[in-house]
Amino acid sequence: MADFIQALLGHYNNWAFILLLMIGFYAMIAKNNLIKKVIGMSIFQTAIILFYVSMAVKKNSTIPILDHGHGAVEHAIDVAAYASPLPHVLMLTAIVVGVATLGVALAIIQKIHRTYDTIEEDEIMEIIAQ
Amino acid sequence: MEQIPFLEATPLLAVMASLVAVPLIALSGNRPNLREFWTFLAGGVKLFLVLSMASWILAGHTHTYELWQILPGISLTFVVDGFGMLFALVASSLWILTSIYSIGYMRALDEHAQTRYFCFFAVSLSATLGVAFSGNLLTLYLFYEMLSLSTYPLVTHHQDEEARSGGRKYLTYLLSTSIGLALPAMLITYSITGTLDFNSMGVFGEGVSKGVLVALLLMFVFGFSKAGMMPFHSWLPGAMVAPTPVSALLHAVAVVKVGVFSIGRILTGIFGIDLMASQDLNTIVCIIASFTVLVSSLIALSQDNLKRRLAFSTVGQLSYIILGIGLATKLGVEGGMTHIAMHAFGKITLFFCAGAIFVATGKQYISQMVGIGRRMPITMFAFFVGSLSVIGLPPAGGLISKLMMVRGALEADMAWVLAVYLVSSFLNAAYFLPIVYKAYFCTEEEALFENKVQEAPLCCWLPPAITATISVVLFFYPSIFLGFAQVMMIGR
Amino acid sequence: MIQSQLPILIIVMPLLMALVIFLLGHKNEGLCFYLHVLGMAGLFAAALGILDQVVTSGTAIHYYLGGWPAPYGIELVIDHLNSMVIAMVAAVTLLVAFYSRQTVPAEVPMRTEHEKVPLRVRNYYVLYNLLVAGLLGLTATGDAFNLYVLLEIATLSTYGLLALGRGRAYYATFKYLIMGTIGASFYLLGVGYLFIMTGSLNMADLFTLLDTAFMQQSMSITIAFAMILVGVWVKMAFFPFHGWLPNAYTVASTTSSCLIAPLMTKVSVYVMIRLMFSVFSAQYVFEILGWQKIVVPMAAAAILFGSISALGQKNLKRMLTYIVVAEVGYMVGGAWLGNVNGYTGAVYHILADGMMTLCVFMAIGAVSYKTGDASLESMRGIFRKMPVTSVVFLVGAFAMIGIPPTCGFFSKWYLVTGAYEAGQWLFLGALLASSLINAIIFFRIIETGYFPDFNKAHGHGHHTDKTVVAEAPLSMLVPMVITASSLVLIGLFSKDIINNLIRHSVPPGLF
């Protein structure tokens, strides 16, 4: 039991991102309003970004910048003292992708609104069915 | 190694001859005489090319021509041997006669889309020769499918509702069996043996379980449903909606014989007759074929439409051939192979006559043909000779091959097959001879025709007269075709 | 010099071309088409150059972006497998580029009541180029995260292209967008788990790192694999994740569906194969996980579902989209059979199916271009009205059914053999059943084209009123004829394709 709680708490970042992921997923699948779907999509994507960023966290580590300049003394690099920068860099790209997707989604919703005069899914389905 | 007396690529050229003619035929669509000239030219060239290989083959050689390696380890290959030669000769010589007949028939009835008709006729002849010269199962399958598709426009030529349903049935049966049964059987065979080449010793060798062999055999026999084995036969009567020359060449000669030929090839070249006999596979084939022979003959008895009666007769006669080859004895196989030729000449005569009657009088039903012998004596005499050949009575060629198959049955110790042959011959006689009898011998009151000779156009009665004559000639000189079959069985 | 830069050129060239068309096409819309065709022709030449390099040298090309060595920088790897896919993609895009000359101006500037500004041809070609850049990039890349980015570039342009359709296009595209994002996110999650376990994103590096007993037993790796699979399955519309595809592709414009239907699913299948065998390994996938017991029956279900649904469709384009769903099942099943024949069939089918999907979509597109709709009834009398189009359609149909010597026969050959060897009877049955159903579907269309309408016609046959030949314009016919002949040529040259390309790419561990 103690182990289980340990596992539960030790990976709290995982639980947080899974929770967000599920909220987003639910909104994308179950919401009727298209804008709400898109909000869900954003939450979904953000959860993944959180997951990546949190995986880079390392206790007692600092930003990965080597201070060789300004007359500082050369010293041996202790890798463990630096956080991995890669996940952050990756997520910069993922954020860009997310924003682009969001933009396209909003543009399409705008078009849908112009065509059907509604952004409620059931009403659109009704119009299409006619 | 002796020098071959013809070009290396002759089999390919023979296959291509009619295909090359297709664009020419299509382009001269509005000049019918020129268009028919191309057909005859192609037919002549084709027959010449086939004949040029005949003596070499009769001398016991085979000729292999590898065209194109299409998959790693599998090529498109042409092999000319006795069996293929026999079939190619039948098909290419009858194409010319059918073309003559087609001209008479199509022009007399003023059919539409004649250019399309002659184009697809040429394509299907290419496919037929392709099957005849196939050196392995893949090549055979390729041409087999090509034939199915290229004959569809011919079968549905009239483009009316009846043609549509007939055509539907035609393709449904042919494609579903070839894709659903023959293709997987071919792939499984390849997977087991690593080869698809025909080999008179068979390709399976030892160690393939009997269950697998039986399954493959059934898949092959029913997969090539052009052979019309019951229960996959009903496309054949359905396809009788086609114009009569199509029925004549394609459904008495090319299409159905391609089915029989394919099964024959597989029995002799993939299974091998030794394996057939040692594993009792021949019994299975004989049972299936006998069933079809008897049932189809009984059905034929009840048909009033002449073409449908001929169709069911064809179903039965095809199974004769399978039965003969399926006996897996020397005489049985020779007889079966020869029967391809004998039946072709006999049956095409009958179809030609049916068409000639339709052209001259518009009649399609047997009950309307009482006394027709007075009006069309030549046609009906040819019909008589043709039916003798199909029944197996002298002096027509059918007797020779039938006798050989009967002897083959005795050789294989399968006396019950003998009974099948006898009963079915009796049935054949029962459904053919009354037609001839009623055509000539009827009282004045019964006769539906005036006592005045009025034949169909020359192009319509001459071809059946020729084929009937050939049927008789084959009785006296069966070795024309028998020779090729015997070449296949040398050393047994 | 330029030879060694080809791998990056195929990605940069369409990107630049998008920019060039955007700038130059502003004043002159007519110029866009010529610029676009020029760009695509250059791309095709580059793709052939790459293919030639790979085949001649017999080894993979490694290109390091910015000169950074392999596990640190981004690497493009072009081997026998993806050089073929790249060539296929480039060929399809070039053919569609020609084809689009008339269809894009006819379909793109559509006005609705609310819009007074026409959408420009220019914008269409910009999106087109971006899509091509994304597709080629994700095919060429050797980096798992880079693949995600390029996959999204491709899909984002796809959304734009599909939304340019008629009627329900916006809504259908929105659905696709939601599904596509879910798919991509799953993929990204999977890559995240891989990164946590290994600290690497380079495919070759991952392959080495994952090849240890510890990794192979790890639950995290299994989850990563599962998520990546689900991600690409959504993208390729593998049953049961196919829901978005028929809607989105049916309502798309002719050009868009011709472009996207052959490419998107096929490239996604390539991605799956690449990840299965170049990141994970055949041994891991088939022996340690052993999921083929589930996936191959799923593929069989996809085939059957797709084919049977296609059978019930009245709209021809919609029917074809269901066939696309079925064909995805062919390839997934083939790849998961776990033997060389299945693999060969799947990879060959990527090429074959890309071309034959293009062929039938183009033919149906030409018919709907002339007749204004794509219902079964629009095919009536098509053999007389549009003889060339109908022959092209016939060839495509034969390939779909699997009639030799078209390429469809040979992929079926390997798939069926593979299924037999693997003892996957359900999959084997599904393959054959789908061939038969395709035969029914296509012959129903051919029949409609060949026979007159009996409900309208009075009397019997013989009423061959001279229909005027009204063929599609040459800019559509030429690419159509080329595509149709390529189906036969791919079939006839199967041996060379298999011996020179596919055989070299067979992953270790397959027998």
Q: What are the DSSP calls for B308-324, one per residue?
A: HHHHHHHHHHHHHHHHH
The answer to whether the CB of B18 falls within 8 A of the CB of B43 is yes
What CATH class does A2-58+80-129 carry?
A: mainly alpha
A104 bridge partner residues: none
Distance between CA C272 and CA C233 in Å, rounded?
8
3-state secondary structure of B75: strand
Other CB atoms within 10 Å distance of the CB of residue C75: 24
Size of chain C, expressed as the number of residues it contains: 511
The per-residue pLDDT for A72 is: 61
Comparing CA positions, the residue from C501, C341, C495, C336 lying closest to residue C415 is: C341
Contact between C451 and B164 using a beta-carbon 8 Å cutoff = yes
Contact between C495 and B167 using a beta-carbon 8 Å cutoff = no
The answer to whether the CB of C326 falls within 8 A of the CB of C302 is yes
Residue whose pair of structure tokens reads 């090839």 in the numeric block: B265
Q: Which of C257, C273, C288 is the last residue of a domain?
A: C288
For the range B182-185, what are the long-range contacts, defined as Cβ-Cβ under 8 Å and sequence gap of 24 or more?
B182/B141, B182/B144, B182/B219, B182/B220, B182/B223, B182/B224, B183/B141, B183/B223, B183/C412, B183/C416, B183/C432, B184/B219, B184/C416, B184/C420, B184/C428, B184/C432, B185/B216, B185/B219, B185/B220, B185/B223
Q: Which of C250, C272, C288 is the last residue of a domain?
A: C288
Contacts of B187 in chain C (CB under 8 A): 413, 416-417, 420
Contacts of A34 in chain C (CB under 8 A): 174
Contact between A94 and C115 using a beta-carbon 8 Å cutoff = no
Average pLDDT of the segment spanning B279-307: 88
Contacts of B141 in chain C (CB under 8 A): 404
Smallest CA–CA distance from B181 into chain C, residue: C432
Count how many domains chain C has. Answer: 2
Distance between CA B333 and CA C174 in Å, rounded?
68
Count how many domains chain B has. Answer: 1
The answer to whether the CB of C357 falls within 8 A of the CB of C262 is yes
Contacts of A86 in chain C (CB under 8 A): 195, 201
Same domain, C271 and C336: no
| Residue among C114, C178, C199 minimizing CB distance to A28 | C178
Task: Name the pairing type of β-strands B63-71 and B74-80.
Answer: antiparallel
Window from A4-8, B268-272, B352-356, C115-119 with minimum mean pLDDT: C115-119
pLDDT category, B206, cuts 50, 70, 90? confident
State chain B's mean pLDDT as an integer. 86
3-state secondary structure of C202: strand
- What's the longest Cα–Cα distance across chain A? 77
Residue whose pair of structure tokens reads 């033997």 in the numeric block: C339
Task: Kindly state whether residue B32 falls inside one of the protein's structural domains.
Answer: no
C114 touches chain A (CB under 8 A): yes
Same domain, C188 and C100: yes
Q: Phi and psi at residue C63, in whole multiples of 5°?
A: -125, 125
Same domain, C301 and C318: yes
| Residue numbers of B between 327 and 386 with CB closer than 8 Å to C | none
Structural tokens at position C505: 């790419």
Of residues B359 and A41, the one with the higher pLDDT is A41
Distance between CA B423 and CA C280 in Å, rounded?
68
The tens place of each residue's pLDDT in chain C, 511 residues long, gives 678 888 899 999 999 999 998 888 777 777 888 888 999 999 999 999 999 999 998 888 898 988 888 788 889 999 999 999 999 999 999 999 999 888 887 776 555 545 544 557 888 889 999 999 999 999 999 899 999 999 999 999 999 888 877 668 888 899 999 999 999 999 999 999 999 888 888 998 999 998 888 888 888 899 999 999 999 999 999 988 888 888 888 888 888 889 999 999 999 999 999 999 999 988 888 888 889 899 999 999 999 999 999 998 888 889 999 999 999 999 999 999 989 999 999 999 999 999 999 999 999 989 888 887 778 888 888 888 888 898 999 999 999 998 888 999 999 999 999 999 998 899 999 999 999 999 999 988 888 888 877 766 544 444 445 567 778 888 889 999 999 999 999 999 998 888 888 888 888 878 7
The answer to whether the CB of C449 falls within 8 A of the CB of C380 is yes
Element (H, E) at B54: helix B32-58
Q: Which of C288, C312, C346 is the last residue of a domain?
A: C288
The answer to whether the CB of B464 falls within 8 A of the CB of B353 is yes
Domain range enclosing C299: 291-456+464-511
Contacts of B113 in chain C (CB under 8 A): 464
Element (H, E) at B25: helix B10-27
Task: Kindly state whether residue C113 falls inside one of the protein's structural domains.
Answer: no
Task: Kindly state whether residue B132 falls inside one of the protein's structural domains.
Answer: no
Cα-Cα-Cα-Cα dihedral sign, residues C308, C309, C315, C319: negative
| Chain segment B108-159, per-residue pLDDT in tens | 777 778 888 888 888 988 999 999 999 889 999 999 999 988 888 888 888 8
B183 touches chain C (CB under 8 A): yes
Task: Kindly state whether residue B258 falls inside one of the protein's structural domains.
Answer: no
Average pLDDT of the segment spanning B185-196: 89
- The winner for highest mean pLDDT among B311-315, B356-360, C162-166, C179-183 is C179-183
For an interface test with C, the pick among A17, A115, A120, A124 (most C C-beta atoms closer than 10 Å) comes out as A115
Contact between C181 and A87 using a beta-carbon 8 Å cutoff = no
The per-residue pLDDT for C312 is: 87
For the range C225-228, what are the long-range contacts, defined as Cβ-Cβ under 8 Å and sequence gap of 24 or more?
C225/C190, C225/C280, C225/C284, C225/C285, C225/C289, C226/C190, C227/C186, C227/C187, C227/C189, C227/C190, C227/C193, C228/C186, C228/C187, C228/C190, C228/C191, C228/C194, C228/C275
A82 bridge partner residues: A62
The answer to whether the CB of C286 falls within 8 A of the CB of C292 is yes
C238 touches chain B (CB under 8 A): no
Average pLDDT of the segment spanning B209-227: 89
B134 bridge partner residues: B78
Task: Kindly state whether residue C510 falls inside one of the protein's structural domains.
Answer: yes
| Residue among C160, C181, C192 minimizing CB distance to A51 | C192
Domain range enclosing B409: 295-492
The per-residue pLDDT for C461 is: 44
Residue whose pair of structure tokens reads 């057939």 in the numeric block: B276
Residue whose pair of structure tokens reads 């013989």 in the numeric block: C462
Distance between CA B322 and CA B324 in Å, rounded?
5
Task: Kindly state whether residue C486 falls inside one of the protein's structural domains.
Answer: yes
Task: Kindly state whether residue B38 falls inside one of the protein's structural domains.
Answer: no
Contact between B156 and C451 using a beta-carbon 8 Å cutoff = yes
Comparing CA positions, the residue from B489, B343, B463 lying closest to residue B411 is: B489
The per-residue pLDDT for C249 is: 87
Q: How does DSSP classify residue B87? A: H
Task: Kindly state whether residue C16 falls inside one of the protein's structural domains.
Answer: yes
3-state secondary structure of C273: helix
Contacting partners of chain B (3+ CB pairs under 8 A): C
Q: Phi and psi at residue C26, in whole multiples of 5°?
A: -60, -45
Cα-Cα-Cα-Cα dihedral sign, residues C268, C274, C280, C283: positive
What are the structural domain ranges in chain A? 2-58+80-129
The answer to whether the CB of B343 falls within 8 A of the CB of B458 is no
| Residue among C115, C173, C189 minimizing CB distance to A108 | C173
C49 touches chain B (CB under 8 A): no
Same domain, C238 and C346: no
ipTM of the complex: 0.90
| Residue among C403, C410, C436 minimizing CB distance to B180 | C436
